[in-house]
Structure 1
Amino acid sequence: MKIKIDLSVLTEILNLKNKQEEDVITELKKIYKDFEFNLIDGVAEIDIDDINLMPDQVHNNLVGLCEKGSLNKALQKAQSLLTKYPHSSELNRILAQIYFQTGDIVQAENFLISALKLNPKNTYALILMGNLQHERSELESALSYWNTALKYDPDDYLSLSNIASLLAQQNHLDEAKSFFEESIKVNSKFPNALYGLALVYYNQGEMDFAFDKVVTALKCSKPKEEVYENAKQLAIEISKELTKNNLPEVESDIHQQKDDLIKKSKKKIKIELSNTIDTLAKLEVAEYKNKDYHRLLYKKKDLTVPHLMLHELYHLEFIIEARKIQNNFLFTSNQSHLDKFFKELSNFRAGLSKKGIPSENIKKLITSLFNGLNSQVFNTPIDLFIEQNIYKNHPKARPVQLLSLYKIISDGVKATTDKEVVNIMPKSIVSKSKILNLVHALWYKKFYGIDLVPEFKSNKIERNQAENLYHEYLEYSKDKEPSEEYELLKHWAEDLDLDGLFELKKENTNKSKTAEDVIDEVNSDPYGVESEEPDYIVEERRKFIESHGSDEINTAVVMYMVGALDFFNSRSKEDIKKIAFEFATLGMTGIDPSKGNYEVPSINKKMSGYQALAYYYVSWALGIPEMLSDLGMPFQEEYELAKKAL
C-alpha cells in the first residue's frame, strides 16, 4: 500500500525534527532504502505493503498470548516471527508493547520507531509511543503523539482518554472533562475514561456525577486491573463524602417511609436511640412484642446506620403487605430443630471433645452456629428484595448503601475464609454460609460493580449453587408479589438442605394480641393459677413493673414470672426440677406466644404462650440454674425484675 504523509508529520514521528530539511530527506531515504520513497510537494509517499505481511491467525494468536499475560511466551513467539515478517509494522508494535509491559523502555522505543517507520499511521504504535513519552514525563511529546493518532482516527477513544488524563494531571480539569466525555461517546464501557471522568468530577466537588461515573467504571472493569482497584477506592471515598452530604435527604426518606407505614399498619412507629441492642439497627414489630406500636431502635456510632434503618423499615413493609393478603409467616425454631442439628453434627462434637474442649463450650458453639445459619437462611432472600427497593426508591441513599453492604459482605468473607474459623468449623456449615454470602455479593456486583465474589475463595460447586439461587431471585424480582419472599426462602432452604433448621408458620393476625389484651389477661389471672390476692396488690405490682422496667421489658412475662415464683416457692428443688423437664418436653414442639392451651402434667392448668414461657424459664432458673443459658430464652431482665416485684 502507498502511505502518504506530510513531511513535517513524518519528521516529528521519527524524531528527526532538529535537522535541516535536506538532512531529513537524506535520513528518510536511508530509512526507506528497501522501499519506494518519493517526496512530492512536501508529502512523503512510501510504498509499503503491510496488509498481508502477517496473517490474521498468526496475529490473533500472538495477541491472545499477550492478553492472557503470557508475556514470555509472547516475546519468544514474536521474536521468531520477526525473521519471517521483518517489515510488519504491527509485529514491531506488539514487540514494543511486550517490552513496555515488562519495563524495558529502551527496547520498547526501538521497536516503536521500527513500527512507525514501516507505517507512520499505525495509531496503536502512536498511542504507545505517547504512553512511553508520558512514562518519561515528556508531556508535550506524549501529547504530540496522541494528537497525531487522533488525526488518523478521530474515534480513537484510547488517545482521547490519554489526552484527557494528561490535561487532568496539569489541572486543566474542564478541558480534561471534554476529552474524557468524547472518549466515552466512542466507547461507553471504557473503564479508564469513566474512572478519569469520575476523578475530575470528584476534584471539582461534583460528587453525584462522580459517584455515577465511578460505579459505571467499576461495572466495566475487572478485579486486579489497576483501573478497577483505583475506581473501588475512589468509590468508597466518594460514598463517604456523599453519605455525609446526603444525610438530611436520607433522614427525610426514613421519616417518610415511617409515616407511610404508620398509615398502612394503623400503628405508631417510634424511632429511638438505643445503646443496648446488639446490632446497629433493630426493628421491634408491635404484635411480636405485645405492644400497640412498632419500634425502630438504632445506634448512632456508625456512618452506615441510616441505610440499616431504612432496611429495617422495609422488613416491616413486607410484613404489612403479606398481612394484607393474610399470608404472612412466622419464622420459628424450637428444641426439636436444635436437637436435630446437634445430631447432624455428632462427629464434629466428638472431634471437639477429643481436643479437650469443655462440653459447655461445645454446646454454646453449636447453638451459635444454629442461630447464625437460621438468621442467614431467613434474611438473605428477603434482604435482596429490600436492597433492591432501597436502590430503586431512595437514590440519595445509594452511597450509604454501597458502604454498608461493602462492610456486611466483607464481614461475610472474613467469617467464611478466616483460617482459624475454617479449620475448626464443620465444612458443610461453612460452605452453606459461604453460598448465601455469595448470593449477596452477586447482587452487590450487579448494582455497584464492586466484585467481592473472588474474595470468598469458593469452589466451582459453591459458585454454581450461588448463581442458581441468585438467578431464581432475579426471576422473582421481575414481578414480585407480597409474601413471595417466603416462597423463595423455602426454596433456598430446601436447595441447601437447611429446611430442617426451622419452620414457617402462617401468622393468624386476627388472633394476635395487642399490649392491652396482654395486660387485661394479666390483670384477670396474673399468676396463671387461681390467685386469692386482692386486685389492688396485683395492680400495685403491675405499676411497679412498668415504672422499674425499660421499654424493652415484656410486662406480661414479668407478671407471669411473679406468679411462677410464688407457685414454686413452697416446692422442693426436686419437684421444681421435675417440672422444669416437663416444660422442656413441652418446648420441644415449640411454644408460640400468640397461642394458648399449653399445659404440663404437674400443673393442671391451661396456660397462654407467654405464661408457659415464663413458667418454663423460672422452673429452670430455680431447679437447674447451671443449664439455664442453654435455653437461649431472652428473659433475664424480666426474671430479675420479677424477683424484685414479688
Structure 2
Amino acid sequence: MKLSIPLTDIMIAPGKRFDPAEYTEQDVITRIKKLYGVIAEVMDIVVDGGMVHISFRDATPEKYAEAIKKLAKGVDAAGKGRLPEALKLFQEVLAVIPENVAARRNMAKVYLEQGKLEKAKQHLQGCLQIDPTDVWSYVILGNIYVNKEGNLDVAAFYYEKCLEHHPEDAMVLTNYAGLMTQKREFQKAEILFKKAIKIQDVPNAYYGLALLYRMAGEDDAGKSVLETMFVRIPQQTLPKEFAGIYAEARNLYSELSKEKKH
C-alpha cells in the first residue's frame, strides 16, 4: 500500500499542524516515524516537493485475508457490546495490517466506550496520520473535545480540517454548526445549519437550527423550520438512531407552540 500526504496535513499535536519549513528532510522523516510509532516499523518514507510518500510493506495475501475477516468479526463483537473480544480482534488485525484505518478507528471507539479517552485519541490521531481525509476520525475527535473535554477551539480545528476535505458533508456541517452555537457565533451557526439542510435532509440540522432561532427569540422561525422537517422527513422513514432527535424536535415544537399562545 502506498500513500502520498501533504506535509501540512501531518499533525504533531491536537490542533497543531506540521511545519516542514522548520526541519531538514531527514528531520522530517525522523519526526514522522516518531509520530507514527509502531507503524513506522513497516513503512518506507520519502519526502519530496512538500509531499510525504509512504509505502507499507504488505502482508502475505493469506494473512491479509485472515486479518480482514477478523476486522469484520471485531466490528460485530463491538456492536454487540463484547468490547474485550472486539479489542483483541482489532489488535490482531493491526499486527498484520498496521495501516488499516478501519481497525484503528474501531479500536478507538472501543476505548472511548471504555472511558479510555487518551488511548482513543491516540488511535484516532493515528488514523489521520495514515489517512488525513478520514471523516469519522475527525468527527469523533471533534466530539471528544466538545463533549468530554470542553475544549471548543481544538474541536473546531478538527471539524474545520474535516470540512477542508469534505465541504459537502452534511453531518460534519451540522456538528460544526452545533459547536458554533455553543461558542455563541450564531450567524456562522445559522449559515452552517442551512448549508447542511440544503445538501441533505438531516434531522439534527433542522433541530439545531430551530434551537438556534429559539435562543434568538425567533419562535416563529423555529416552528417553521420544524414544520418543514416534519414534512420532508416523515418519522417512519428514519433509521432508529434518529428516533431520539425526532422526539426532541417534537417536544421543541410543542414548547414553541405553547410559548406562542402565551
TM-score for the superposition, normalised by structure 1: 0.33
Residue 4 of structure 1 corresponds to 4
Give how far 1:209 is off. Answer: 3.3
State the shift of 1:166 in Å: 1.0
SS at match of 1:193: helix
Cα contact 1:150–1:160 (8 A) shared by 2:
yes
List aligned pairs for 1:508-547, cutoff 5 A. Answer: none
- Deviations along 1:42-66, one digit per CA (max 9) or x if unpaired, are 222223589x967877655544555
Alignment partner of 1:34 is 2:47:
no
Q: Deviations over 1:206-237 (max 9, x none)?
A: 32332243463783474896534543442332
The answer to whether residue 107 in structure 2 is matched with residue 95 in structure 1 is yes
Q: 1:16 to 1:213 in 2, by over 3 A?
A: closer
Is the Cα contact below 8 Å between 1:161 and 1:179 reproduced in 2? yes
Residue aligning to 2:255: 237
**Sequence identity, in percent?**
27
Is 1:132 aligned with 2:134? Answer: no
1:175 to partner: Cα distance: 0.9
Shift in Å, 1:169? 0.7
Q: Name the counterpart of 2:177.
A: 164
User: Which residue of the partner structure matches residue 70 of structure 1?
Assistant: 81
Higher helix share: 2
* Separation of aligned partners in 2, 1:36 and 1:14: 25
Q: CA offset at residue 2 of structure 1?
A: 3.6
Q: CA deviation at 1:88?
A: 0.7
- The residue aligned with 1:116 is 128
CA distance 1:11–1:76, change in 2 (3 Å): closer
Q: Is the 8 A contact 2:210 2:221 kept in 1?
A: yes
Could you list the per-position Cα deviations for residues 302-338 of structure 1 after superposition, in whole angstroms to 9, with x for gaps in the alignment? Answer: xxxxxxxxxxxxxxxxxxxxxxxxxxxxxxxxxxxxx
The 2-side partners of 1:223 and 1:117 are apart by 30
**Local SS of the residue matching 1:86:** coil
Maintained 8 Å contact 2:101/2:131? yes
Deviation at 1:17, TM superposition (A): 4.7
Structure with greater Cα Rg: 1
Q: Distance in 2 between matches of 1:194 and 1:43?
A: 40
Consecutive unaligned residues in structure 2, runs of 5 or more: none
Within a 5 Å distance, the mapping from 1:301-380 to structure 2 comes to none
Is the partner of 1:44 in helix, strand or coil? strand
Q: 1:165, CA displacement in angstroms?
A: 0.8
1:187 to 195, 200, 214: 200
Q: CA deviation at 1:160?
A: 0.9
The superposition leaves residues 77-111 of structure 1 with CA deviations (integer Å, 9 ceiling, x where unpaired) of 43443334332111101111222234321121121
**Equivalent-residue separation in structure 1 for 2:211 and 2:249 (angstroms):** 9
**8 Å contact kept, 1:191–1:221:** no
Partners of 1:196 and 1:176 in 2: how far apart?
Answer: 9
How many pairs does the alignment contain?
A: 241
Letter in 1 for 2:23: E
* Alignment check: 8 A CA contact 2:174 2:192 kept: yes
Question: Is 2:15–2:158's contact at 8 Å kept on the other side of the alignment?
Answer: no
What is the CA distance between 1:204 and its match in structure 2?
A: 2.3
| Alpha-carbon contact 1:37-1:45 (below 8 Å) kept | yes
* Distance in structure 2 (CA, Å) of the matches to 1:158 and 1:60: 25
